[in-house]
Amino acid sequence: MISTEDMVVCRELIRTGSYSFHAASRVLPARVRDPALALYAFCRIADDEVDEVGHRDKAAAVCKLGDRLEDIYSGRPRNTPCDRAFAAVVEEFEMPRELPEALLEGLAWDAEGRWYHSLSDVQSYSARVAAAVGAMMCVLMRVRDPDALARACDLGLAMQMSNIARDVGEDARAGRLFLPTDWMLEEGVDPHAFLRDPQPGKGIRRVTERLLNRADRLYWRAATGVRLLPFDCRPGIMAAGKIYAAIGAEVAKAKYDNITRRAHTTKGRKLWLVANSAMTATAGSMLPLSPRVHAKPEPEVAYLVDAAAHRNLNPERSEVLISALMALKARDRGLVIDRAS
């Protein structure tokens, strides 16, 4: 069980650091909401610790997070509220280690400054930093059905694409790029030149539109999986999808200008979407189940679905994660330069 004191810290961290999830979580049942807040708090801390350090320190920050995760799965979490709370979640729900390790691998890719050549590459990144969280949320609901997990991963992919589309300008000014570079080149946008001088030209707007269209298709398919979740969890998950999809809608309203402005949804809009989700989830329960719910998972998330569905509790750190961390350490020592072109 998560201690009351640790839960208070996790709630406050999410309330001030992740407004969209905090709004959606309010309509989750307590048995899911509290462990979900602990999960998101650990993920938030992990992301912040890597994102807020200097460029040369990012590798060290990711490696330290790897050590913290190792301690959690060894049953000796660090003496911090988020680590203790997440350790309690891991034990109570038998959380497959592959899922938080996927998130850590995504943070390692961030630390590398990796670029993503194709949509598949973007989905591989999104699988790690977002779809893995969707799979973990299913585990917290005691749902291990492969179809439900695949649709939860669809939702994670879509939410991350919404974030990428919203943050193009902010990321570019920080020297980061998450758009498919082959799409940029098709539109006559040189990635290097764009990072030197990010402007909301027609090409970058068209790339943003394509990415949001892809996200919309994933939101559409993800919605079919809500029926596979416990009844009292459906409004919260539907609300999360609607709130993040609204971000993309705001980008579209700005004619896909994500350079000179940053799209956001108001608190009132979020509350309306939460209320609407509760009504939609109830009405949807009376409709036939869509055959789309049985669609195969995206190739980039299939391993996450397998890990969660089969409860593959791996007590050892995965070779993939070890390789990613070793590459970071080598880069930090100046042995390699790691950036795709």
112, 170, 177, 191, 212 from 260: Cα distances, Å: 26, 9, 16, 18, 18
Give the pLDDT of residue 217. 97
Inter-residue long-range contacts of 39-42, CB under 8 Å, 24+ positions, other chains counted: 39/86, 39/89, 39/133, 39/136, 39/137, 39/140, 40/10, 40/14, 40/133, 41/9, 41/10, 41/13, 41/14, 41/81, 41/82, 41/85, 41/86, 42/82, 42/83, 42/85, 42/86, 42/100
In DSSP notation, 149-199 reads: HHHHHHHHHHHHHHHHHHTHHHHHHTT---SBHHHHHHTT--HHHHHHS--
Q: What angle do CA 321, 215, 144 make, to 5 degrees?
A: 55
**Of the candidates 63, 86, 65, 61, the residue with the CA atom closest to the CA atom of residue 75:** 86
Lookup: tokens for 316: 């050892």
User: One digit per residue, pLDDT tens: the chain, 341 residues?
Assistant: 899 999 999 888 887 766 666 666 777 898 999 999 999 888 888 877 777 765 667 778 888 888 999 999 999 999 999 999 999 999 999 999 999 999 999 998 988 889 999 999 999 999 999 999 999 999 999 999 999 999 999 999 999 999 999 999 999 999 999 999 999 999 999 999 999 999 999 999 999 999 999 999 999 999 999 999 999 999 889 988 999 999 999 999 999 999 999 988 887 887 788 788 777 776 666 567 889 999 999 999 999 999 999 855 555 556 666 666 666 666 666 644 444 43
Contact 273, 266 (CB under 8 A): no
Alpha-carbon distance of 127 to 226, in angstroms, equals 19
Lookup: tokens for 174: 């920080």
Lookup: tokens for 212: 């949001």
Which residue segments constitute the domains of the chain, with CATH numbers given? Answer: 4-332 (1.10.600.10)
Alpha-carbon distance of 308 to 302, in angstroms, equals 10
Give the pLDDT of residue 310. 80
Which pTM does this prediction carry? 0.88
Helix (H), strand (E) at residue 328: helix 319-332
Return the CA Rg of the chain. Answer: 19
Residue 15's Cα: distance from chain center in Å?
17
Give the pLDDT of residue 311. 53
